[in-house]
Structure 1
Amino acid sequence: MIAAARGGEAAEAVDRLPVARSAQVRRAWVRLVRMDGRAFAGVLALNGLAAAAGLAAPWLLGRIVDEVRAGAGLATVDRLALAILVCALAQIVLSRYAGLAGHRFGERTLARIREEFADRALALPATTVERAGTGDLITRGTTDVAAVGATLRDAGPTMAIAAVQATFVLAAVFVLSPLLGACGVAGLAGIWFATRWYLRRAVTAYLAEGRANAALAEELAATTSGARTVAALRLEHRRLSACRRAIEECRRTRVRTLFLRSVLFPVVDVSYAIPVAAVLLLGGVLMAQGAVTLGTVVAAALYLRQLSAPLNTILENLELLQSSSASFARVEGLAQAPRGGPAGAAPEPVDDRIEVRGASYAYDAGPDVLHGVDLRVRPGERLAIVGPSGAGKTTLGRLLAGMDAPRTGEVTVGGVPVAGLDPDRLRERVMLVTQEHHVFLGTVRDNLAIAAPDATDAHLRAALDAVGADWAVDLDTHLGPGGHRPDGAQAQQLALARVVLADPHTLILDEATALLDPRTARHTERALAAVLAGRTVIAIAHRLQTARDADRVAVMRDGRLTELGTHEELVAAGGAYAALWHSWHGDPTSGPPAPPPGPAVES
């Protein structure tokens, strides 16, 4: 495929997810071709035979001209005309099977690209996806993969046939007369310079168009998913302005690519007539000198006229080729995205002890949101992390789960840095559950089997019972369009049931029961505590009753760990936690009342 992401180096500064460079794209294409090398060789062979069959007609027509001038009879002309017909039919049949073989090769290769993309996307750390934005990842997995597929399925085989035909046609002209061949090639100089001018600018322009499309998808996704919040806060004008800016950027980048084509194609159309005219003029001079025959000149002119068809095919698909090259650079760029520690990079943790030593953290290039946090979580302990909104609780939870690495200090599990563990090994040790849950299309069984593929139906039902999901009686209930649409609370119960099945050593709950009503939340939390007895549970608590049930409570404020101790110790100390408890509970010496409808303490 024509050169790929020449603008990749500059693009990486804009794209959150990396874009593959031209050398990486070329290596990827070579690897894909080698994986189906026999089929690719078959495509080339059929294309070569089809192109060879197409060369016969102009040469035979030239023979007819020379034979007629020499006084040959009608039988000779009929015989040569029949040969032209046979060669034309052979070319049609061979071209048909060459296209079919090319399409099969393209579909198999596209399937491999889709599978690789899915594997790479699923291997990305959650923090990488969050920072890149779902719009970029979705655009790469849909629009970009579809563009590559269109090239492999349609443009690729068509251009392969055209390239072979053009090569054979030029070779035939040189065989007839090297001088006429050189004249014809010189006449194609305009196409060469116009195409080179286009290629120098096309990939960068199409990469910019791809980034603009990804940004627009991100804006639209954010606006539609948060439509209720936008309406409640009266942010419609701001969101519409952002979408209009993204649309304008898409329009601007699209106009740029249209301009490039508007320069290329008129120059090419004019250039087709130049080599034919040059060969006829030079051929007349050579005929007058007896250097060539009339049939040779006619055949050479027909060959060069025939050359316009494959060149047109190549140039018409050049836009798709450049667009798909840029798309493939974005798809293949996912291979360069960070994936956490490689398997075997770190030693095996000796136990489930979690330690945080001097941990500070900042999002991107912003100020620190955590400042020198020190914390030790004992195996089997139930720890509650509380504090006002913006205190750094969720950030600390992400560090404990290995989703982010501290800027300074370290977070270890069993003496091994969490950030250095392979993601699969890390999830066996530590699992983070938030209030944002995804329900996959499929049955209840499908959604649960993600956590434990080998679990029996009895185990699946036991996990559902443990979290109070009495609505999921039938494991074959289809979830999604056309079936049962679970609400937010039911989605949380499915997620918690997956936790029960995964059975991690350490569970971090970040408002994991926030969408449940208070009574159901208390029941679910107690059920989880019973099922996960002996496991370490770290709860980022939005209900202080959860903190009271914990073995210890860690209080966060302004990114610092300000208090640590049991519930009774912290209430007796009369500090920040005691103030929170009094505001939520009232009298700490009396029995706990029913929790209020909404949490008094935000997380």
Structure 2
Amino acid sequence: MTAYQLPVAGRAEVRRAHRDLVRADRTGTALVLLTTCLAAATGLAAPWLIGRIVDHVETGNPDTGTIDLLALGILGSAAATVVLTRFARYLAHRFAERALARLREEFVDNTLALPTNVVERAGTGDLMARTTADIATVGTSLRDAAPEVFVGALQTLFIIGATVLVDPILGLCAVVGVVWLWWPGRWYLRHARPAYLAEGTANSDMSETLAATAAGARTVEAFGLRHRRVHTGDQRVRDAHRTRVRTLYLRSVLFGQVDVAFVLATALVLVAGGLLYVNELTSLGAAVSAALYTTRLADPLNRVLMYLESMQRASASLARLKGVQHAAGGAAPTGGTPRDDRIEVTDVRYAYTDRDVLRGVDLAVRPGERLAIVGPSGAGKSTLGRLLAGVDTPRAGTITVGGVPVADLPPEELRRRIVLVTQEHHVFIGTVRDNLAIAAPTADDTRVLDALAAVEADWVHTLPAGLDTPLGAGDTTLDPAQAQQLALARVLLADPHTVILDEATALLDPTTARHAERAMAAVLAGRTVIAIAHRLHTAHYADRVAVMAAGRVTELGTHDDLVAAGGEYAALWRSWHGR
């Protein structure tokens, strides 16, 4: 089954993106255009001067001084062409690097704006392929292909124009060869976009499958899924290979036609030039100049069509990069300001597929309350926690904080009010300070150190560079307890009024879990706490306990009241204590 794929931008949007890249740097565009035109113009001088030398020699009494001057002109035009072409490409590459930088920043902004549920549905493969392969493809195209195609296209136009000026008939012969490329070019462009998009999708599926297999290697071995995962991986590799063979076929057909066009143009000019010269309808110098111009068509045409493939690949990659902003959901929500910290859940329903996992949940959480949510596996506890934190949006019903729907709160306001703490505590590549600044960018060192001290993260003082110690692969690595303390310090710095705990210590060993729970107590003091409890000792100390079963809240009350009632919670409590 193919994983959910992030959206892909349409042709019109990709064209607008190309125009925006140009408009964003008008000065750079003008300089590239000017120097490229000058380089192409100076490159036209040599064939024309050679033609003049031929005509001068043909008179039978050539002036060596004139020939020497014409030869010096050829050398001068060649030197000017080299210098201007090099400068034009330098300006084009500088323009491309600036455009790529803007594109990368925009892509990062759009990626960070993606809702968590969208990222989870898409998986790591699609985002990884867009972040690496697609960015690299667009970068290569902007740096190399776009300048080469631009320079080659201008040189082709200038050469044909010069050939027409030398002799209109010979110029028409050169045009016939170029026009030959119209049909294979249209055929290629019609089939290239869907072929390259299919290749990108296949690469994403392959990356997702291989990444999932590698990440779950222990599970694969434990359940004997090795052969099944290998088969699935082989299938994804075969799909990627098939799409690449398709794009290779398109390129091989197009490039073959370039040779045909060049040979056809050269042959026509030589035959027509000979006939015109024999019939005294043109000079020998003009025929030679036209032939030289035609032979010069080979280089820019080859470059244009060779890099046209890269441009098509980049266009498909740009469509995939631009498509991410559609998954981000457009403009950020701009809900009102909550009047207080009360959370209310009204008739909430939610489904991952076509069947609801939450079925009409009603719940109210008072400010400063400690609420435990318990129930058997699959009851919907973690799903409700994600909805309360705004990670997912209900299919029906509402979840409000202070009367404002959680879904309508801007991300910054939502994170300032409600934070979800799970079993996963990610340590980002960067310094300790960078990892904590995520929660409070303006926090000074004193505030950061106070947050670390509150969660008993004294280990920060033993690090080689303190808060400036790099973390991640190849640098200092944190153990699970330290990673959780770092995450809890983030919560303190974010200073939310409500903390939702989804068994944040479940993956830790008992000793580490006790230290983590002491640290957590400092974080939770004075806040509203919603604890999704798989171990019932958490519920025992809560102000109230909500019992969930089959996607509904079936019981709500204090621990003592629910035990005395003899219902589902009482049964869970007896089972927990082995009675």
Moved more, 230-239 or 373-382: 230-239
SS in 2 for 1:272: helix
Asked whether 1:109 is paired with 2:125, we answer: no
Q: Is the 8 A contact 2:333 2:407 kept in 1?
A: no
Asked whether 1:99 is paired with 2:85, we answer: no
TM-score, length-scaled by structure 1: 0.92
Q: Is the 8 A contact 1:341 1:422 kept in 2?
A: no
The aligned length equals 573
1:299 aligned partner: 289
Deviations 1:15-45 (A, max 9, x none): 6211111111111121121221111211111
Q: 5+ unaligned residues in a row in structure 2: which ranges?
A: none
1:64 aligned partner: 53
Q: Is the 8 A contact 2:548 2:555 kept in 1?
A: yes
Deviations 1:365-384 (A, max 9, x none): 42111101111111111111
User: What is the alpha-carbon distance in structure 1 between the residues aligned to residue 266 and residue 3 of structure 2?
Assistant: 47
Asked whether 1:515 is paired with 2:507, we answer: yes
Q: In structure 2, do the counterparts of structure 1 residues 553 and 520 end up closer, same or farther at CA, with 3 Å as the change threshold? A: farther
Moved more, 279-288 or 329-338: 279-288
SS in 1 for 2:452: helix
Q: Of residues 198, 204, 218 in structure 2, which corresponds to 1:214?
A: 204
User: What is the alpha-carbon distance in structure 2 between the residues aligned to residue 87 and residue 315 of structure 1?
Assistant: 26
What is the aligned-residue RMSD (CA, Å)?
Answer: 1.8
- Give 1:279 shift: 1.9
Q: In structure 2, do the counterparts of structure 1 residues 388 and 565 end up closer, same or farther at CA, with 3 Å as the change threshold? A: same
Q: Of residues 189, 196, 200 in structure 1, which corresponds to 2:190?
A: 200
2:119 aligned partner: 129
How do 1:253-402 and structure 2 match up within 5 A?
253-339=243-329, 342-344=332-334, 346-363=335-352, 365-402=353-390
What one-letter code is carried by the residue in structure 1 that aligns with 2:165?
V
- Give 1:542 shift: 2.1
1:39 aligned partner: 28
SS in 1 for 2:459: coil
Q: Is the 8 A contact 2:388 2:406 kept in 1?
A: yes
1:455 aligned partner: 443
Deviations 1:83-105 (A, max 9, x none): 11110011001111111111111
1:178 aligned partner: 168
Moved more, 519-528 or 349-358: 519-528
Q: 5+ unaligned residues in a row in structure 1: which ranges?
A: 1-12, 588-603
Q: In structure 2, do the counterparts of structure 1 residues 338 and 477 end up closer, same or farther at CA, with 3 Å as the change threshold? A: closer
Asked whether 1:411 is paired with 2:395, we answer: no
What one-letter code is carried by the residue in structure 2 that aligns with 1:40?
T
1:584 aligned partner: 576
Deviations 1:262-281 (A, max 9, x none): 21112221221111211222
Q: Is the 8 A contact 1:340 1:423 kept in 2?
A: no
User: What is the alpha-carbon distance in structure 2 between the residues aligned to residue 32 and residue 121 of structure 1?
Assistant: 19
Q: Is the 8 A contact 1:340 1:419 kept in 2?
A: no
- Give 1:340 shift: 7.2
SS in 2 for 1:385: strand
Q: Is the 8 A contact 1:509 1:537 kept in 2?
A: yes
User: What is the alpha-carbon distance in structure 2 between the residues aligned to residue 115 and residue 338 of structure 1?
Assistant: 15
Asked whether 1:505 is paired with 2:497, we answer: yes
User: What is the alpha-carbon distance in structure 2 between the residues aligned to residue 299 and residue 67 of structure 1?
Assistant: 13
Q: Of residues 552, 556, 574 in structure 1, which corresponds to 2:566?
A: 574
2:15 aligned partner: 26
User: What is the alpha-carbon distance in structure 2 between the residues aligned to residue 343 and residue 405 of structure 1?
Assistant: 13
Asked whether 1:556 is paired with 2:548, we answer: yes
Deviations 1:384-442 (A, max 9, x none): 11111111111111111111111111111111111122212211121111111210122
Moved more, 14-23 or 217-226: 14-23
1:479 aligned partner: 471
User: What is the alpha-carbon distance in structure 2 between the residues aligned to residue 489 and residue 530 of structure 1?
Assistant: 15
Deviations 1:251-294 (A, max 9, x none): 00011011111211122212211112112222233334433212
User: What is the alpha-carbon distance in structure 1 between the residues aligned to residue 479 and residue 525 of structure 2?
Assistant: 29
Q: In structure 2, do the counterparts of structure 1 residues 156 and 15 end up closer, same or farther at CA, with 3 Å as the change threshold? A: farther
Q: Of residues 132, 136, 142 in structure 1, which corresponds to 2:132?
A: 142
User: What is the alpha-carbon distance in structure 2 between the residues aligned to residue 270 and residue 562 of structure 1?
Assistant: 78
Q: Of residues 230, 235, 249 in structure 2, which corresponds to 1:245?
A: 235
Asked whether 1:49 is paired with 2:41, we answer: no
Percent of aligned pairs with the same amino acid: 61
What one-letter code is carried by the residue in structure 1 that aligns with 2:481?
A
- Give 1:14 shift: 8.3
- Give 1:144 shift: 0.5
User: What is the alpha-carbon distance in structure 2 between the residues aligned to residue 582 and residue 205 of structure 1?
Assistant: 61
What one-letter code is carried by the residue in structure 1 that aligns with 2:210?
L
1:543 aligned partner: 535
User: What is the alpha-carbon distance in structure 2 between the residues aligned to residue 337 and residue 481 of structure 1?
Assistant: 30
Q: Is the 8 A contact 1:509 1:540 kept in 2?
A: yes
User: What is the alpha-carbon distance in structure 2 between the residues aligned to residue 477 and residue 65 of structure 1?
Assistant: 74
- Give 1:198 shift: 0.9
SS in 1 for 2:458: coil
- Give 1:529 shift: 3.9
User: What is the alpha-carbon distance in structure 1 between the residues aligned to residue 395 and residue 73 of structure 2?
Assistant: 78
Q: Of residues 407, 424, 440 in structure 1, which corresponds to 2:428?
A: 440
User: What is the alpha-carbon distance in structure 1 between the residues aligned to residue 295 and residue 4 of structure 2?
Assistant: 45
User: What is the alpha-carbon distance in structure 1 between the residues aligned to residue 209 and residue 522 of structure 2?
Assistant: 43
Q: Is the 8 A contact 1:341 1:419 kept in 2?
A: no
Asked whether 1:187 is paired with 2:187, we answer: no
Q: In structure 2, do the counterparts of structure 1 residues 243 and 355 end up closer, same or farther at CA, with 3 Å as the change threshold? A: same
1:423 aligned partner: 411
